[in-house]
Structure 1
């Protein structure tokens, strides 16, 4: 994490939203997550770096958890927004035990509700509940 990355402003919700934007931009532009993150016009909070770096280092584990719990859905068939939100939420379930399961799932559902489809809300909620049972039990 870059030194001085956190200014103390913002919220976890805003951090998750920033991470979602970075992941979405990187995937749709075929670029690296950190490259997109470092080009942000305003330096993101340190938590955004924690999320993006964590996803980069645990991408295989995260994607495996998503795919193994997403019945009849391959990761590449999911909307880009859904994949990005799921990756952020699964990382938080794995790496940030101080954040409650309910908070992580609720934030993810709100983000897909805002940026994806109504069907995505149910899908993400159910999928994250299953994954939470596995990684937090």
Structure 2
């Protein structure tokens, strides 16, 4: 299954956990055990959800540090979870080039968010990526 589809499935899971106020990993376990009407979650979607859950605090801190307008808690639920996925890919997944993570996030935003979201997401993720590549120890890069 394409990684784009896996990202969307991961977004659905993160969105649901966020909306319900449910622990991400407990919801993931439910979705793995009982996928319901959907096909089972792709392996990469599971990897994304686990990665975001594991680094949730650091990811949100990075997003808050780089956001010039909205803090994570005030962002739209879909926007913040798209940002979390892409930030995890930029910072913690060396298999995905930053540009791909950013482009994929923008594509999700274009189809799922309001008209202002793609440019906001692009700017914020570009700042995260730039900090990541300056060697800033505060960026949270996994060694």
TM-score by length of structure 2 reads 0.84
Q: Count matched residues.
A: 128
What aligned pairs does 1:1-137 form with structure 2 within 5 A after superposition? 10-38=1-29, 39=31, 40-41=35-36, 42-137=39-134
CA distance in 2, matches of 1:21, 1:113: 16
- What is the CA distance between 1:94 and its match in structure 2? 1.1
Q: Which runs of 4+ in 1 moved over 4 A?
A: none
CA distance in 2, matches of 1:107, 1:130: 16
- Could you report, residue by residue, the CA deviation over 1:3-23 in whole angstroms, capped at 9, with x for unpaired residues? xxxxxxx11000100010001
Gaps of 5+ in 1: 1-9
Gaps of 5+ in 2: 135-143
- What is the CA distance between 1:98 and its match in structure 2? 2.4
For the Cα contact (< 8 Å) 1:82–1:124, is it kept in 2?
Answer: yes
When the two chains are superposed, the root-mean-square deviation of aligned CA atoms in Å is: 1.2
For the Cα contact (< 8 Å) 1:112–1:120, is it kept in 2?
Answer: yes
